[in-house]
Amino acid sequence: ILFQIFDAFKSRLHDSNSKVNQVALETMHKMIPLLKDNLSPVINMLIPAMVDNNLNSKNPGIYAAAINVIQALCQHLDNYLLLQPFCTKAQFLNGKAKQDMTEKLA
């Protein structure tokens, strides 16, 4: 059931409506401390949805919400769960997003 919930939620994380996108990121930020390592089955699906367009967003609210989500992931999940998806994102992103992901890896 976790896959079904987050599969539906994932599309809101990169919704074309910036308000929907921002609220989805803010909601994800609130869910991470509650779910913690229980997110492990869906983390490889969620990280690209949270990072891809949001860390390069010119909308300051979306960018800030994306940074908060990445920080919450680092605080509440075991690092080994984040290492591979963060490395993959750092390798293939560009601009500000690549810099942010590289700093988190360091």
Contact between 95 and 65 under an 8 Å Cβ cutoff? The reply is no
Contact between 66 and 25 under an 8 Å Cβ cutoff? The reply is yes
pTM: 0.93
pLDDT of residue 1: 83
Distance CA 85, CA 62 (A): 20
pLDDT of residue 106: 85
Element containing residue 13 per DSSP (H, E): none
With a cut of 50, list the residues of the chain below it in pLDDT: none
Distances (CA, A) of 14 to 23, 74, 76, 89: 11, 21, 23, 16
Distances (CA, A) of 94 to 14, 17, 53, 81, 84: 17, 23, 10, 23, 18
